[in-house]
Amino acid sequence: MGSGPLWPEDAADKFCTKNWWWNLLYINNFQPQGEQCFPWAWYLANDMQFYIISPLFLITLWRWPKVGYSVLGVCFSITFIANFVITHEYNLIAGLGNIIEYAQDLLNFQTKIDEFFNKIYFKPYARVGPYLVGILLAYYLHKRKKENSNKLNR
């Protein structure tokens, strides 16, 4: 059925037999990192969640542009504030830049990094900001192209 150096470990993963349905529903990015069936699939879950909510923003921009811009701005602000509050409340470290502070206690550093990944890095509320900027930029470029369709671009 399968082969490879890691086949027995991956094929018989206890988390896959228990948590397979999280991946099926694309909500596995809400599980702790160590309990995910496919640890890399958090990104697919984020993409699917963004794809599902994008019509809300696109229809609003299409029908009522001013309201759409406002909704995007509010949502972007909320994601920025949520990241700030969660980072502050849990005293999270963002990345390897603080490794010098934890040089004597690397186990504590690893715990802090894992906490950062579980509370911020994998979560859609932390990742939706750039996606919203992409929607806004795509809509702006679409409108600009439509308005300048008769003009020669230089």
Q: What is the pLDDT of residues 64-119, one digit of tens each?
A: 999 999 999 999 999 999 999 999 999 888 766 666 666 677 777 788 888 888 99
First-to-last C-alpha distance (Å) of the chain = 58
Q: What are the residue boundaries of the structural domains of the chain, listed by start?
A: 44-153
With contact defined as beta carbons under 8 Å apart, do 36 and 15 qualify?
Answer: yes
Q: State the pTM of this model.
A: 0.78
Nearest to 9 by CA among 29, 33, 37, 32: 37
| Other CB atoms within 10 Å distance of the CB of residue 139 | 18
Model confidence pLDDT, tens digit, residues 32-45: 888 888 888 999 99
In the structure encoding, which two tokens stand for residue 42, read together? 């958090």
Question: Is 22 strand, coil or helix?
Answer: helix
In the structure encoding, which two tokens stand for residue 113, read together? 């990094």
* Residue % of the chain over a pLDDT of 70: 82
d(CA 18, CA 30): 15
In the structure encoding, which two tokens stand for residue 125, read together? 């509320």
